[in-house]
Amino acid sequence: MAHSKYILAALLSLGTAETPSLADTRTPPPDSAIAAGCSALTRSLPSQVFLPGSSVYDYEVGNLWSNTQIRRPACIVRPTSARNVSTAVRESRATGTRFAVRAGGHMAVPGANSIDDGILVVMSNLTRISIAPDRASVDVGPGLTWEDVYAYLIDFERTAVGGRIAPIGVAGLTLGGGIGFQGNARGWAADNVIEYEVVLASGKVVVANETSNADLFWALKGGGANFGIVTNFKLRTAPSTKVLAGIYTIDGSHMDALITAAADYASYNTDPLSHILPLVEIVNQTTTIGLVLFYDSATEANPACLDQFFAIPATNSTVAFKTLAEFVVERNSFSIPDINDVLFAGTVVGGNGGDVRAAIQLTHDVFYGKLPDLYAAVPPAALEYVSIGWQPVPGLWLEASRRANPGGNPLGLGLSSSSAVGGEEGKVYIAWVGIVMWKEARYDDAVGRWIRDVADAINGAARESGLYDPFVYMGDAAGFQDVFAGYGAKNRERLLRVSREYDPDRVFQTLMPGGFKIGL
């Protein structure tokens, strides 16, 4: 999407909000090592290595959501098999050349999915997809997007739990946990992976499932890019033809009603077929609310659980029966090409309806309170889109997660205390996400400072009110955010143990510095 900009980015040597919690991908390794790595790969995979100046290099190097992600790798390799991925890992190790891995390219953390002066391994040709004869599962290559998966499965009247917008990669989303439309019925996307094929640091290709490499199986369900390169995801499928879904557009003047409806829904909804994503969208300093509504039924046009939203007047609504593939494409219309984007995130938590409303209101108020600072630092004309959204993760979701995946995941949002069963008694988490889209690299640092300030301010206010939770959803996190601390000490230690067991030489912590890292 951003590919025309890479030369400019390289020339300007983009300043970005890079972070202490991610390894520094900028310190250049010796040229001889880089050259050795790329030439070794060129010898082993002669038709799959692309150097600067080639059209494939130019295409792949900028095939990222945000211009801030663009780096200048020494070469790009496109494996066509797990064995080729293994070759890339072995050659990188043998020559001491650092590498990055990119699938859908939507993690907007600079350095997470590309690298200066190293090898960029892209998943573009690992796009095999194949439904099982019983249709209960599907094998999906890491180069596919969620649109690809939904479009393939609809021919079999099936679907999978995954992304809510077309171009998001299967790999990155699933490795971070994965928030999909069917969370209330089926948990996180990662809970619905029944087997992974993984290239380990040794170059060995292994299977991780409930019975083989069970600790790796657990770790991959939210542990990100710390354990190996996944070359196949076996996803559980579910029946699907059409769903009731759309964007219900509300004027910003109805914010109170929206927040009340969202809080009531998050606290009291008992219908697992429903999902909402209220996005406050500020364009040209004017607020509209883009409320994403979803109900997993091909026949129910008026689900009672969404009544409170439909009672708010809309300026437009696209809510109608459509396939999931159609809906994620429709939602992608808000993607702006060739732009700088960043996400940042956090979690507030409430124990009953009143608390949840206060928690959402607090994030809203702090966010709006900080907008003047943003406008002072970045000319409003350079800001394309500023947003905050609220993703409810109630007890219903956590119960579904446990049903789908009894072995658990590392995310740490569990039903740890036996009384937490959702509804009025249980905890309701609101994973909030902030988005800024802007033009011109010279504002990167200013935006980086602003999002850090807003996240600190929301977390501070939430702590003071007893509404704070340390969970930060990896998919929505900015580079400075400590995702693994939010999983809780026990899960973090277990992830570290698993990573040391499968990667004793710490290849995925040092040679592959990008992404959220568990540490040495």
Ligand X SMILES: Cc1cc2nc3c(=O)[nH]c(=O)nc-3n(C[C@H](O)[C@H](O)[C@H](O)COP(=O)(O)OP(=O)(O)OC[C@H]3O[C@@H](n4cnc5c(N)ncnc54)[C@H](O)[C@@H]3O)c2cc1C
Residues contributing to the site for ligand NAG (CB under 6 A): 44-45, 78, 80-81, 83-84, 87, 124-125, 207, 209-212, 283-284, 316, 318
**422 closest CA partner among 390, 394, 393, 391:** 394
Cβ contact 465:362 at 8 Å: yes
Half-sphere exposure of 513 (CA within 13 A, CB side): 25
Report the residue number, 261 or 345, with the smaller CB distance to ligand X. 345
Q: From the CB of 202, what's the least distance to ligand NAG, in Å?
A: 15
Report the residue number, 284 or 418, with the smaller CB distance to ligand NAG. 284
Report the residue number, 196 or 461, with the smaller CB distance to ligand X. 196
The phi and psi torsions of 516 (rounded to 5 degrees) equal: -80, 125
Q: From the CB of 431, what's the least distance to ligand NAG, in Å?
A: 26
Report the residue number, 32 or 333, with the smaller CB distance to ligand NAG. 333
Report the residue number, 63 or 137, with the smaller CB distance to ligand X. 63
Q: From the CB of 80, what's the least distance to ligand NAG, in Å?
A: 5
The residue number whose beta carbon is nearest to ligand NAG equals: 81
163 touches which of ligand X, ligand NAG, none (CB within 5 to 8 A by kind)?
ligand X
Report the residue number, 182 or 491, with the smaller CB distance to ligand X. 182
Report the residue number, 244 or 277, with the smaller CB distance to ligand X. 277
89 touches which of ligand X, ligand NAG, none (CB within 5 to 8 A by kind)?
none
Cβ contact 228:239 at 8 Å: no
Cα–Cα distance, 167 to 421 (Å, whole number): 34
Q: Which chain residues interact with ligand X by CB under 6 A?
A: 65, 101-108, 112-113, 123, 142, 163-165, 168-169, 171-173, 175-176, 178-179, 225, 229-230, 343, 475-476, 514-515
122 touches which of ligand NAG, ligand X, none (CB within 5 to 8 A by kind)?
none
87 touches which of ligand NAG, ligand X, none (CB within 5 to 8 A by kind)?
ligand NAG
**331 closest CA partner among 166, 146, 182, 144:** 166
Q: Is 429 left (phi over 0), alpha (psi -120 to 50) or beta?
A: beta
The helix/strand/coil state of 320 is: strand
Which residue's entry shows tokens 């949002």? Answer: 413
212 touches which of ligand X, ligand NAG, none (CB within 5 to 8 A by kind)?
ligand NAG
83 touches which of ligand X, ligand NAG, none (CB within 5 to 8 A by kind)?
ligand NAG
- What DSSP string runs through 421-435? -STTTS-EEEEEEEE
Within 8 A by CB and 6+ apart from 459, the residues are 346, 468
490 touches which of ligand X, ligand NAG, none (CB within 5 to 8 A by kind)?
none
Cα–Cα distance, 73 to 6 (Å, whole number): 11
Report the residue number, 368 or 385, with the smaller CB distance to ligand X. 385
Q: How far apart are the first and last CA of the chain?
A: 34
Residue 157: other Cβ atoms inside 10 A: 12
210 touches which of ligand NAG, ligand X, none (CB within 5 to 8 A by kind)?
ligand NAG
Helix runs in 45-123, H state only? 55-61, 82-95
The phi and psi torsions of 281 (rounded to 5 degrees) equal: -120, 120
Tokens of 265: 């829904």
Residue 369: other Cβ atoms inside 10 A: 12
Report the residue number, 230 or 243, with the smaller CB distance to ligand X. 230
102 touches which of ligand NAG, ligand X, none (CB within 5 to 8 A by kind)?
ligand X
Within 8 A by CB and 6+ apart from 443, the residues are 340, 377, 378, 382
